[in-house]
Amino acid sequence: MAAGVTGLIRAALAVRNAVIPPNVNFRRLSPEIGDGAVPFYIPTEARPWPARRTRVAAVSSFGAGGINAHAIVEQGYESAATTPAVPCLLLSAHTETALRADAHRIADHLAAHPDNYPQVLRHLQAGRPPMRYRAAAVHADAESAVAWLRGVVATQVTGDAPAGPARLPACGRSPQDLAQAWMRGAVIEWAQGSAQPPWDFPPPSLDLDDYDFPRAGRRPCRTRRHPRAEARC
C-alpha cells in the first residue's frame, strides 16, 4: 500500500512537471527478455517529457492478500474562467498565530506563482470555512498582495466574529464592501460556489503550540508556551 501511494505521488509529479523520472535501481534488462529490440526503455536519468504528446502515467499496486490496483494519471487542462476573480483577499484562522503563518505561506506561493493569483483569490473566498480571526484587503495583482500578506499581522488581524454571523451575497457588491463585511464577521456567499486551490497550494496552518494533548489517565489542559518546559496540570 505504501509503495503504491508513493508511486502515485511520483507519477502525479512527473505528469505535472513534464519530467520523466529515472529508475535509480535499474542496471540492465533481465536476460529472459532477450537482446532484441523492445517497445520500451528504462530511464536511467531524468529527462523532459516529449513535447506535443499527452502526458499519461500508469501505476500498479499489488497487495499481499491478492488485491491489485491500477491507476492512470493524465495531465490536467486549464479550465476557462467563467467570471473574473474579485480582487478581495479573505483570510481567517482559529488563532492569530495560525493566521500569520497562513499569510506567509500564501505569500510564498504567490511570489513563486503569480499567475495563480485569480485561482488563489477564488479559493480563499469560497474554498475554506470562515473562522474567528480574520484579515481582508483589496489588491488587484499578486505583487501587492504578497506585500500585504507579509505584513498582515501588524495591521489586519481581528478578534472573535459575533455569534450567528450574517450571510451576505457577494453579487452586486464592491470588493471594498465585501472586505469590510468579512471583517465584521459576515459569511460571504459566492455565486460560483466552492473553489479548489492550485494543486501545490499550502494547506491551512494549524496553531498547536498552546495545546497540551491529553495523555492516558488525565484530562487535557491549556498551558503556556515554553520552548523547554513540559506542560503540567
Which one has a higher pLDDT value, 144 or 228? 144
Residue pair 138/179 in contact by the 8 Å Cβ criterion? yes
CATH number of the structural domain 88-189:
3.30.70.3290
Instruction: Encode 6-72 in three state secondary structure.
Output: HHHHHHHHHHHHCEECCCCCCCCCCCCCCCCCCCCCCCCCCEECCCCCCCEEEEEEECCCCCEEEEE
Instruction: Extract the runs of DSSP E, i.e. beta strands, from 49-175.
Output: 56-62, 68-74, 88-93, 133-138, 167-169
- Comparing CA positions, the residue from 84, 78, 94 lying closest to residue 121 is 84
pLDDT tens digits, one per residue of 111-136: 999 999 999 999 999 998 898 899 99
C-alpha cell read off for 10 = 511520483
The residue that leads in pLDDT, 9 or 160, is 9
Q: Which of 32-36, 103-107, 121-125, 139-143 has the lowest mean pLDDT?
A: 32-36
Label residue 143 by pLDDT band (50, 70, 90).
very high
Domain-wise residue ranges, the chain: 2-24+33-74, 88-189
Average pLDDT, the chain: 81
Average pLDDT over residues 35-45: 80
Better pLDDT: 165 or 147: 147
Residue whose C-alpha is closest to residue 179's, from 145, 146, 226: 145
Say which range, 8-22, 68-82, 149-163, 177-191, has the weakest mean pLDDT. 149-163
114 DSSP 8-state letter? G
**Where does the pLDDT of residue 160 fall: very low under 50, low under 70, confident under 90, or very high at 90 and above?**
very low
Position 31 scores a pLDDT of 80
- What's the CA gap between 161 and 186, in Å, rounded? 8
Q: Region 198-225: what's the mean pLDDT?
A: 60
Mean pLDDT throughout 29-48? 81
Give pLDDT, residue 227.
Answer: 47
- Kindly tell me if the per-residue pLDDT of 154 is higher than 80: no
| This prediction's pTM | 0.60
Query: pLDDT tens across 65-116, in order?
Result: 888 889 999 987 766 556 788 999 999 988 888 899 999 999 999 999 999 9
Q: What pLDDT is recorded for position 9? A: 92
CA distance linking residue 85 with residue 175, whole number of Å: 10
